[in-house]
Structure 1
Amino acid sequence: MPSMANPELPVPDGLVLRPFRGIRFTVDDLAGVTSPPYDLIDEAGVRELLDTHPNNVVRLILPGSDHHRYAEARTTLHEWLSSGVLAADDRPALYVYEQSGPGILQRGLIGDVGLAGPEAGIILPHEDVMPGPVADRLALMSTTEANLEPIFLLYDGAGGAASGLVDRIAASRPPLAETATSDGLRHRLWAVTDAGELASIDADLRPRQALIADGHHRYATYLALQREHRSATAAGPDATGVPAGSGTSPAEGAGGSAEPGPWDLGLALLVDSTAYPPNLKAIHRVVPGLPPEEALTKARGSWRVQEHADLAEGLAALEQTTGPAYLLSGGGMTHLLSDPDPDQLEHAMPPGRSAGWRALNTSVLAEFLLPKVWGTDDDERSVRIVHHDPEAAVRLARACGGTAVLLRPLAVEDVLAVAAQGERVPRKSTSFGPKPRTGLVLRLLSPLPEPGGEASAPPSGEPAP
């Protein structure tokens, strides 16, 4: 992460969400051109989305598979802008975004969030990031000069002006865009352009603090892009390598500036977690090549093991547990691991961690069950990840001759407590939802070309250079 003590990096004076000129699809079938976040789409999902609509946003967020894929995404983006498949809104705006469905209602604001490292205490991460996904998103964002999907931030709005305005707009104004997606959710979008309303939102948000609920790798990419851009600008206009038309003036170089440039901000959805408590779901593991029988044999020396007839019965038993517990399955019978041997557990957990961190089921999994009991590290090479769906995890385990390790979701308050102490939960510990739908509104980091070759004002609303 870049250090916010670096004088070349501007430090926001609080939680800042700036209006920008959103880039939106002009097609009638909005559901057909949107997608889930990139990291929730597998190869089959990509094919399904492309079959749904030729202009699905997955062509931008998960382009191709060879080394030309990032350039391919840039070309596609420019083609869609030139042909009118995508178009910029006339005025910079914050966007009220509502997701609703059976048992679900979430409203928030989409805008340009001012970037700050974790030490600034403005935007708190709760997960570490892996270098591979950051490098991938960095290449995509720098090549396309765009933020193609928002990260998801939570904050304690405490009944403030921003939350009140969001609800009034959603209840009283016709939406700018509306669609229903195959997952059963209805999505509505409103543009907030009134200067008084924008000022009220800004004043309410400044003293607050946000938690990254989803998008840690993209936020790390935002910070990396900011650092690269500021360093290049400080080196001089002939040595920058800064994308042409980035919308940043020479005055925004070394020494920081009061007026942020496009690369000092990142696309984000900001939701008041007091008004709209998030839905926190579990992320399950599959250990390929570890048959359930072997997993159980190795676990019996340090865990209480209970047998259950099927997946439904086992999941019900898992739900009733307290403390670290896991349901193992490879199909057929399931087995509940609970009540680990306290001495072995204490010896396995790393020193210097808070009691809250040590009690997380994902911490015990990553530090004790996987490496000490099964001899497997919880990394991308050794362990597969399955979001939310225990049946999908069991199917994957059966296909790869392994064991599905099913978890209870963490509690929101436990995640917040860990993040507030500057700690990180183990990788893939949380899945907050509902996540923003990708493709409803995009953000460009460079000016839009006008007919005749003139550049318009930067889409993010900053003054043109």
Structure 2
Amino acid sequence: MNTAGHPEATARRGLELTPFRGLRYDPDRVGSLAAVTSPPYDVVVRPDGLHHLQDSDPHNIVRLILPQADTPAARNDQAARTLHRWLSEGVLTTDTDPGLYVYEQCDGEGMLQRGVIGALRVSEPSEGLVLPHEDVMPHVVADRADLMRATSANLEPLLLTYRGNGTAADTSSVIERTIEGPPLLATTTEDGFSHRLWSITDPADLDRIQSDLARRQALIADGHHRWATYRRLRAEHGSPSAWDYGLVLLVDTARYPLRVRAIHRLLHGVRVPDALAALDGLFRVRRLEVPLAAALETLADAACVGNAFLIAGDGAFHLVDQPDAGLLARTVPADRPTAWRTLDATVLHATLLAHVWHIPEDDPSRIAYIHDTAATVDKAERDGGTAVLMHPVREDVVRDLARQGVTMPRKSTSFGPKPASGLVLRALDL
């Protein structure tokens, strides 16, 4: 086995996952492990969630992944200084031996996810090893790259999935055997999820996992911007180096299926009556005087037939469906597969945002992308904006499009559960 980072036998065949010395919180130096964790940086709903996490513990990981200061440069400098201080104070400590990490999440209601965290070789798109399914926003990639340069660290893993054979193959057999021992850490976060982490350092076990994954292809489930950041930073540094690799969690969805949820849109400064008025004659609009759960059921039924959305923000829900065929023909690009052209996200971005509402999809002053459904509605009602609620896309549709090399509109899906940030970090200067 080669843990130094360049096993030639696997570099050209498949996924190359290598051990690393994880940075982890010393439980004796923090209030609780749950209090220092956070959802991924792009799931934290600002400012409510950010302030809540900052207040939960002075060492919460959000102070690294979403530092707060007046300028981008000051934010990144603050994150770097905070990381170095926590290391010098022993708040974060480095594991003695390099290893891979088994990570388990469970919600107590039947949702169980297990996977392996490691440093994955950053491959080129032409290799077809790591498949994106969404476009990225350049300013977000630039922001994440600046933060990683400043801290010289991968602060949170992105989530990748692969399809095993659904049985106790090499990786799964190592995982199942590893979890029989005591975990490195165990905690339950306020969302009800329990989290456990184990290390794998035995050379034979590492060989089994690496050999198994060397035959696999991965789909980016969550973390497109971080993967694009890894690729940018790898190109900036001479190879071989620690920048050739990025922190990931790999989950076999044949054995541990993920949930696929929608990511919703919040239109800033757009009143619901104005948003609906612009749809007159272009979509069917029906007002629903029902609670959120019932409105989402109605949306699901409508989405089985064709493109459908829920508009909210004025105290009610409005089902928007049955788009005009001529409108779609004029606005949706014709040079893509039918599966892409009929996506709700495609119609939202190509037709509604670009041609009906005239809202740039990458302007954060005009549009926000929010994972939590209720939070999107609440913020729209508080701010006088318009919430656009989406129905989730099936995983098989996502994977099929990715294999065709077709990317979906940005923020089209939310795979979960997402790994908690703060359980294990990777320093690139060790």
Q: TM-score, normalised by structure 1?
A: 0.84
Residue 173 of structure 2 is aligned to residue 164 of structure 1:
yes
Shift of 1:47: 2.1
Residues 218-257 of structure 1 correspond to what in structure 2 (within 5 A)? Answer: 218-230=226-238, 252=239
Q: Which amino acid aligns with 1:100?
A: C
Q: Which amino acid aligns with 2:230?
A: Y
Question: 2:214 corresponds to which residue?
Answer: 206
Residues 366/311 of structure 1: CA separation in 2 closer, same or farther (3 Å cut): farther
Residues 350-361 of structure 1 correspond to what in structure 2 (within 5 A)? Answer: 350-361=333-344
8 Å CA contact 1:278, 1:432 repeated in 2: yes
Shift of 1:69: 2.1
Q: Which amino acid aligns with 1:75?
A: R
8 Å CA contact 2:121, 2:244 repeated in 1: yes
Question: 1:338 corresponds to which residue?
Answer: 321
Residue 158 of structure 2 is aligned to residue 151 of structure 1:
yes
Alpha-carbon distance in structure 2 between the residues aligned to 1:103 and 1:388: 21
Question: 1:385 corresponds to which residue?
Answer: 369
Question: 1:452 corresponds to which residue?
Answer: none
Residue 292 of structure 2 is aligned to residue 320 of structure 1:
no
Please state whether the residue corresponding to 1:152 is helix, strand or coil: strand
Residues 47-446 of structure 1 correspond to what in structure 2 (within 5 A)? Answer: 47-65=51-69, 66=71, 67-101=73-107, 102-158=109-165, 159=167, 160-170=169-179, 172-230=180-238, 252=239, 260-312=240-292, 313-321=294-302, 322=304, 323-380=306-363, 381-389=365-373, 391-446=374-429
Shift of 1:12: 4.5
- Identify the range of structure 1 (312-321 vs 175-184) with the bigger mean alpha-carbon deviation: 312-321
User: Could you say which structure has the larger radius of gyration?
Assistant: 1
Residues 45/307 of structure 1: CA separation in 2 closer, same or farther (3 Å cut): closer
Residue 49 of structure 2 is aligned to residue 45 of structure 1:
yes
Alpha-carbon distance in structure 1 between the residues aligned to 2:311 and 2:84: 48
8 Å CA contact 1:11, 1:115 repeated in 2: no
8 Å CA contact 2:161, 2:250 repeated in 1: yes
Please state whether the residue corresponding to 1:132 is helix, strand or coil: helix
Residues 70/296 of structure 1: CA separation in 2 closer, same or farther (3 Å cut): closer
Residues 107/409 of structure 1: CA separation in 2 closer, same or farther (3 Å cut): same
Q: Which amino acid aligns with 2:160?
A: L
Alpha-carbon distance in structure 2 between the residues aligned to 1:106 and 1:33: 21
Alpha-carbon distance in structure 1 between the residues aligned to 2:12 and 2:144: 24
Question: 1:238 corresponds to which residue?
Answer: none
Shift of 1:210: 0.3
Residues 79/297 of structure 1: CA separation in 2 closer, same or farther (3 Å cut): closer
Alpha-carbon distance in structure 1 between the residues aligned to 2:327 and 2:63: 49
Shift of 1:37: 0.8
8 Å CA contact 1:328, 1:403 repeated in 2: yes
8 Å CA contact 1:157, 1:163 repeated in 2: no
Shift of 1:11: 5.6
Please state whether the residue corresponding to 2:237 is helix, strand or coil: helix
- The CA RMSD over aligned residues, in Å, is 1.6
Alpha-carbon distance in structure 1 between the residues aligned to 2:353 and 2:231: 32
- The share of aligned pairs that are identical, in percent, is 47
Alpha-carbon distance in structure 1 between the residues aligned to 2:241 and 2:347: 43
Alpha-carbon distance in structure 2 between the residues aligned to 1:192 and 1:416: 29
- Identify the range of structure 1 (341-350 vs 143-152) with the bigger mean alpha-carbon deviation: 341-350
Alpha-carbon distance in structure 1 between the residues aligned to 2:268 and 2:83: 38
Q: Which amino acid aligns with 1:165?
A: V
8 Å CA contact 1:23, 1:86 repeated in 2: yes
Q: Which amino acid aligns with 1:307?
A: R
Q: Which amino acid aligns with 2:101?
A: Y
Alpha-carbon distance in structure 2 between the residues aligned to 1:394 and 1:64: 26
Alpha-carbon distance in structure 2 between the residues aligned to 1:69 and 1:379: 21
Alpha-carbon distance in structure 1 between the residues aligned to 2:254 and 2:191: 25
Alpha-carbon distance in structure 2 between the residues aligned to 1:167 and 1:161: 10
Q: Deviations over 1:336-374 (max 9, x none)?
A: 111212222122111211111111100010011222222
8 Å CA contact 2:265, 2:370 repeated in 1: yes
Q: How many residues align?
A: 408
- Identify the range of structure 1 (216-225 vs 313-322) with the bigger mean alpha-carbon deviation: 313-322
Please state whether the residue corresponding to 1:267 is helix, strand or coil: strand
Residues 179/19 of structure 1: CA separation in 2 closer, same or farther (3 Å cut): same
Question: 2:6 corresponds to which residue?
Answer: none
Residue 23 of structure 2 is aligned to residue 15 of structure 1:
no
Residues 290/68 of structure 1: CA separation in 2 closer, same or farther (3 Å cut): closer
Shift of 1:173: 1.2
